[in-house]
Structure 1
Amino acid sequence: MIEPTRNPELWEFLGSLQQGDLLSGTVAAIEPFGVFVALDEGPPHPCFPGVGFLTLPELSWRRFDDASEVVQVGDHVTCEFLQFDTYNGEARLSLRATQPDPFQAFAEHVGVGRQLTGRVVLRLPFAVVVEIADGVEGPVHVSELAPDRPDPEADFTVGEEITVIITEIDRQRRTVSLSQRQATP
């Protein structure tokens, strides 16, 4: 824990920020657990490469395997301030909050009952996850798989295209449910 009494300038700066403020800075380090951002304004961090920090889910609306697919060290970014992390003495940021949510745009134009072709992106014991639009994925539960392909892990390959029907869209939770069983071949 970083002591506020040892870093009064940092605490004053972070305490002055409001949720939703836009902060700019340079990507200083990419770690397996997140990305440090050296902010253009405010004091430097006494321990970390930057005062700003992006957790992996806050980098992008889209699926990625490594943070370096989204940002590179040296990139200049503008992020939304989420909260003051008083334990680490850093500004928690969101890059994805500054970008349009592809799910909301999708849900506005596509409804339940629509048949789509999507790409399998993940196989689980209980479902396959299918990308049905750029940045929009949904599960096909084992009960909704085609009768001739009942095993998500054995009967499907990542990258394979399958036809599905949208059975539910929840805009608030940003989820979509899919059925292969109900889709016409």
Structure 2
Amino acid sequence: MQKILVFVRFSINKKIVVYQMNKTKTWQEIASNYKEGTIHTGRVIKMFSYGCYVELEEGLVGLLHLKDMAWLTTNLKPIDFVSCEDKIEVMVLEVNEEKESICLGVKQCTQNPWVGIAERYPEGKRVKGQVTKVIDYGCMVLIEEGIEGIVHVSEMDWTNKNMQPGHLVSVGDTIEVMVLDVHEAKHRMSLGLKQCLPNPWRQFEQEYQINDSLTGKFEAFYPFGLFVKLEWDLSGIVYSSDMPNNLEDLKKGDELKLSVLSIDAERERIGLKVISTES
């Protein structure tokens, strides 16, 4: 039988270390003994920022990547899961005879929590979770062990679409969210925070009728008209065709007397007409 030497290289403090594997098995035999999907016990021999090496038998080492250590690894490092000399159960994910390498996984030894996720968390269901990460475009929320969903910034507040997520939530907060979309195959869940709060657009729709009068505060001019700040922090629009010609001197915060022309709560739009400026 052919005797082979296999070398695994890794670095310690920027120095290259060679881990020599002196085996009498060919990689064809190794692939036969360690078929993909089989579970084995190994020993952690080296930690990395992205994973670790696991010795399956004397001289035979496989790579366990961080992403395959647990179903959820947000904000975690390999050291949060294993340490050197730990004996762990791993599943063989791939044996590459050409590259003479073995890829291993720990999370695959347990049930995938995403299986059946759509049945457990149907769209429209309200759930409580813990904020695990705040990012520029939203936040991540832990729903159950191994299941994390994202709340996009556009789903955090009814009236402020470009708010800073960190102004509303912090890591560790327990919040109520609504399931908006679930993709089991891609392990993705979209959540909404504002959907669990009163909808001011619906409130306005219930409070006002077409042609009702109300007051608002001037916000800004645009080529097509102007925006007015209303109650519940809503903004309404006055199109140029519905504006009188004496508004050039308006300053932000000036009050206007208005009439309701249209209400579309679904599209979050309120059409208004200027009756007069408040004296």
Shorter chain as denominator, the TM-score bin is 0.7 to 0.9
Please name the residue that 1:100 is paired with. 198
Query: Does the 8 Å contact 2:215/2:230 carry over to 1?
Result: yes
Counterpart residue identity of residue 63, structure 1: N
- Give the equivalent residue in structure 2 for 1:184: 276
What number of residue pairs does the alignment pair up?
A: 171
CA distance in 2, matches of 1:9, 1:158: 55
Q: How has the CA–CA distance of structure 1 residues 96 and 122 changed in structure 2, closer, same or farther, with 3 Å as cutoff? A: farther
Q: Structure 1 length as normaliser, TM-score? A: 0.76
Q: Structure 1 residues 101, 144: closer, same or farther in 2, change over 3 A? A: same
CA distance in 2, matches of 1:15, 1:120: 45
Contact 2:137 2:165 in 1 (8 A): no
Distance 1:93-1:122 versus aligned 2 partners, 3 A rule = farther
Unaligned runs of 5+ in 1: 45-50
Equivalent of residue 12 in structure 1, options 91, 115, 124: 115
* Matched letter for residue 57 of structure 1: S
TM-superposed CA distance for 1:136, in Å, is 2.5
Select which of 31, 36, 39 maps to 2:140.
Answer: 36
Seen in structure 2, the aligned counterparts of structure 1 residues 74 and 120 have a Cα distance that, compared at 3 Å, is: farther
Q: Secondary structure at the match of 1:9?
A: coil
1:133 counterpart (231, 235, 238): 231
Aligned partners of 1:139, 1:20: CA distance in 2, in Å? 31
In structure 2, how many angstroms separate the alpha carbons of the residues matched to 1:96 and 1:162? 29
Of Structure 1 and Structure 2, which has the larger fraction of its residues in strand?
2
Percentage identity across paired residues of the two chains: 21
Deviations 1:65-99 (A, max 9, x none): 32233222322101111111457522110111111
56, 61, 72: which is aligned to 2:170? 72
RMSD of aligned residue pairs (Cα, Å): 3.0
Correspondence 1:49-68 to 2 at 5 A: 51-63=148-160, 65-68=163-166
Of structures 1 and 2, the one scoring higher in RCO (CA 8 A, sep 6+) is: 1
Unaligned runs of 5+ in 2: 1-66, 72-92, 94-106
Give the Cα separation in 2 of the matches to 1:66 and 1:156: 29
> What is the alpha-carbon distance in structure 2 between the residues aligned to residue 31 and residue 157 of structure 1?
35
Q: What CA distance in whole angstroms lies between the structure 1 residues aligned with 2:260 and 2:200?
A: 16
Separation in 1 of the partners of 2:217 and 2:138? 27
TM-score, normalised relative to structure 2: 0.53
